[in-house]
Amino acid sequence: FFKEAVRELGAWIGTNGNTLVYGGSKSGLMGELAESVLQAGGKVIGVEPQFFIDAGFVYDEITELITTKDIAFPGGTGTLEEITEVMSKVSLKHLDAPCILYNLNGYYDSLKQLLEHMIEMDLSSREKQEGIYFAENLEKIQKCLAK
C-alpha cells in the first residue's frame, strides 16, 4: 500500500512539473518516490552526505546531487526530528510553505492527537498550527498545496 501511494505521489509531482528535493537515496520508499518522479518527467534533487555516497546509497539517475558533510538520515526518530523542525518554522512564520504530513493508513494519527492536546493544554493554538496539515491521500495533498 505504501509503495503504491508513494509512486502515485511521485507521478503527480513529475507530471505537474514540480521538483522533488529529498535525501538522495535509491532505497526504500524515498527511492521509489524519486524513481516515479523521474519516470513522470519531473526533476529530482538529492541532498546527501558524502559518507552515504561513498557507501553506494546515492540514486545515480537523479537530476542533481548536492553533497553535504552531515545531514539527518530519513527514518524513525530522525524523520520525527526533521518534521518537528519544519512544524516549528511554520508555527513561527519563519517558513512560508505548508508542512504536509502524508498520513498513510493513519501513521501520523498520534502526532496529530499530540498537536491537538497541545492546543487543549494552552501550549499551542490553532493559529500557531496553521499551515500544518495531515493528508491521507494525494487528493488531500493537492488541496493543501492549493490553499
User: Confidence class of residue 95 from pLDDT cuts 50, 70 and 90?
Assistant: confident
Collapsed DSSP state (helix, strand, coil) of residue 146: helix
pLDDT at 65: 81
Percentage of the chain exceeding pLDDT 70: 89
* Nearest in space to 1 (alpha carbons), one of 106, 105, 109, 140: 105
Say what the pLDDT of residue 39 is: 96
Q: 51: which 3 cell numbers?
A: 559518507
- What local confidence, expressed as pLDDT, does residue 67 receive? 75
Distance between CA atoms of 18 and 43, rounded to whole angstroms?
7
Count CB neighbours of 25 within 10 A: 20
**70 — pLDDT class (breaks 50, 70, 90):** very low
| pLDDT at residue 2 is higher than 60 | yes
Q: Which amino acid is at 126?
A: R
Confidence check: pLDDT of 69 > 80? no
pLDDT at 56: 77
Distance CA 121, CA 13 (A): 38
pLDDT at 141: 84
